[in-house]
Amino acid sequence: MGSRASTLLLSHSQITRLYSRFTSLDKGENGTLSREDFQRIPELAINPLGDRIINAFFSEGEDQVNFRGFMRTLAHFRPIEDNEKSKDQNGPEPLNSRSNKLHFAFRLYDLDKDDKISRDELLQVLRMMVGVNISDEQLGSIADRTIQEADQDGDSAISFAEFVKVLEKVDVEQKMSIRFLH
């Protein structure tokens, strides 16, 4: 566990902290979390993206996530420290780099894993995020506009590179970092 944790770049206290959270969520006390354990968190029920966030913890086809998987997903949200930026570029990129953070977000959009956000997938996410007052045509035109702004290779879908480009002015490192993991 020690060596693996170092690739996730979490300190000892952070791991202990996450472990106590893991055990408090694990009501069945079998060392793994199922989807129901996540759904027990009340704030997630009213988060528009709740389902997708929960899915992000589970790998393909799996129903349970162990502590390592839990940590691994959360490690994406560790803030980027200044001293890491100048680190050795040859090693594997840490999970909480800007690129990996964006990749995590991209995967939440892209359900069929074809490395593109199609209009449909965008519509689904939009529908989850807006209220009932928006009609489908309006939603459709918003989605069209979004794709049109981002699309550079003309395939009516947003690829990962285009996604990164749209967010280049946004401070993703700050927006996708949990403060406590500092």
Partner 1 sequence: MGRQSPGCLVGPLLALFLQAASAGDLSGSQVLEEDALPENTSWDAEEGQGNESLEHAFFSVDYQHVQVPFEITLWIMLASLAKIGFHLYNKLPSVVPESCLLVFVGLIMGGIIYGLNDKSPPVMDSDIFFLYLLPPIVLDAGYFMPSRPFFENIGTILLYAVVGTIWNVFGIGFSLYGICQVKSFQLQDVSLLHNLLFGSLIAAVDPVAVLAVFEEIHVNEKLHILVFGESLLNDAVTVVLYKLFRSFCEMPAIKTMDVLAGVGKFFVVGIGGILVGLAFGMISAFTTRFTKTIRVIEPLFVFLYSYLSYLTAEMFHLSGIVAIIACAMGMKRYVEANISLKSHTTIKYFMKMWSSVSDTLIFIFLGVSTIGENHEWNWPYIFFTVIFCLIWRALGVLVLTFFVNRFHVNTVTGKDQFIIAYGGLRGAICFSLVFLLPDFHRKKLFIAATTVVILFTVFVQGMTIRPLVDLLDVKKKRESAPTVGEQIHIRFLDHLLAGIEDISGHWGQYYWKDKLEYFNSKYLQKFLLREYDQPKSSIVLLYEKLERKHAIELAEAGQLGHTPSPLSLLNSHRSVTTDGKPEDILNPDVLENIQEILARNLFRIRRTVPAYNRHTLPGETEPAEQAKEILILRHRSLRMELSENDTVGSSKEKDDSCSAQEDSSPKPKLCRSLTVRNAERTREPKHNRSKSVCVISALQPGGAAWANKKEAEKELTPDI
Does position 172 interact with partner 1 (CB under 8 A)? The reply is yes
Judged by beta carbon, residue 27 or residue 87, the one nearer partner 1 is 27
Minimum distance of partner 1 from residue 92's CB (angstroms): 22
Pick from 9, 111, 160, 173: which binds partner 1 (CB under 8 A)?
111
The verdict on 129 binding partner 1 (CB under 8 A) reads yes
Structure tokens at 124: 């689904």
For partner 1, which is the closer residue by CB, 87 or 130? 130
* Near partner 1 by CB under 8 A: residue from 9, 15, 80, 126: 126
Is residue 173 classed exposed, middle or buried when 0-12, 13-18 and 19+ CB atoms within 10 A define those classes? middle
Q: State which of positions 16-45 bind partner 1 (CB under 8 A).
A: 17-18, 20-21, 24-25, 35-36, 38-45
- Is 103 among the residues that bind partner 1 (CB under 8 A)? no
Interatomic CA distance for residues 31 and 129, integer angstroms: 33
Q: Which long-range contacts (CB under 8 A, 24 or more apart) does 64-69 make?
A: 64/32, 64/33, 64/34, 65/32, 65/33, 66/31, 66/32, 66/33, 67/18, 67/19, 67/22, 67/31, 68/1, 68/4
Q: Which of residues 53-92 bind partner 1 (CB under 8 A)?
A: 53-55, 57, 61, 63, 74, 77
Q: Could you say whether residue 3 binds partner 1 (CB under 8 A)? A: no
Q: Which is nearer to partner 1, 134 or 161 (CB)?
A: 134
Q: Which of 123, 113, 100, 93 is nearest to 159 (CA)?
A: 113
